[in-house]
Amino acid sequence: MQGARRTLSERTVALVTEIAFAETYEGQKLFSEVESFLRELGFSFYGFTSQHHRSRKLLDKRKEAGRERLLFADAVFFKDPLPHGLRVPALSPRANHALFVCALLLGYFDFALELALQTWAKGDEAVRIKGLIHRLAALPPLESERGVAELADRVRARPDFANIEVGRFVDRLRQRCDYDDVFEP
């Protein structure tokens, strides 16, 4: 990335890169160093697309649970021009559109909508963009109900793999679902 400093600084609005949390080879840059370097160039860390943990497979996950050390992941960084970001200089209209598309493709729908509404989308275009994002982000309750029913069927069919099936179910949803901001009446 050091050799791409100018490209990252001037022409890049989104980046997905593998980062490490533990040194697997000598001199390897770790997450904190990569994040710091990218922050200097105006990027904000947004999350992970995948995570990989250390495991010696000494526990039988059908019957035992435990946490493992995060070894490496694919990290998402955006040049966030919105007030809560790093206050990067205003992006060009083309850069805002590119960032919007990257956010959509990576599933950051709320950010994509906020970006569009605060930078260019007005009137009918704003209405169309809201509709598009709501369709892309849709997770109908019946789909969730069907997923839970299928999970229950798999657990009943192989009760000795219940922990593994439930873990896989949660892992699949974790990438898409974030409910920390839900307030229940």
Query: Is 13 in the same domain as 80?
Result: yes
CA dihedral 85, 87, 89, 90 (to 10 degrees): 50
If we measure between CA atoms, which residue out of 75, 78, 61 comes closest to residue 170?
A: 61
Residues 77, 34: Cα–Cα separation, whole Å: 11
Q: Print the domain residue range for 157.
A: 141-174
Question: pLDDT value at position 59?
Answer: 84
Residues 5, 185: Cα–Cα separation, whole Å: 48
**Over the chain, what is the mean pLDDT?**
90
Query: Is 9 in the same domain as 77?
Result: yes
**Average of pLDDT values for 156-169?**
93
Question: pLDDT value at position 20?
Answer: 96
Q: Render pLDDT for 58-103 as a digit per residue (tens, 0 to 9).
A: 888 888 888 888 999 999 999 988 877 666 678 999 999 999 999 9
How many distinct structural domains can be found in the chain?
A: 3
Residue 106 contacts residue 16 (beta carbons within 8 Å): yes
Query: Is 129 in the same domain as 159?
Result: no
Confidence of residue 4 (pLDDT cuts 50, 70, 90): very high
Residue 28 lies in a domain: yes
Confidence of residue 17 (pLDDT cuts 50, 70, 90): very high
Give the pTM.
Answer: 0.84
If we measure between CA atoms, which residue out of 77, 69, 75 comes closest to residue 52?
A: 69
Q: Render pLDDT for 106-134 as a digit per residue (tens, 0 to 9).
A: 999 999 999 999 999 999 999 999 999 99
Query: Rounded to 5 degrees, what angle do the CA atoms 177, 179, 180 make?
Result: 135
Question: pLDDT above 90 covers what percent of the chain?
Answer: 66
Query: Is 9 in the same domain as 84?
Result: yes
Query: Is 134 in the same domain as 152?
Result: no
Question: pLDDT value at position 90?
Answer: 83
Residue 177 contacts residue 163 (beta carbons within 8 Å): no
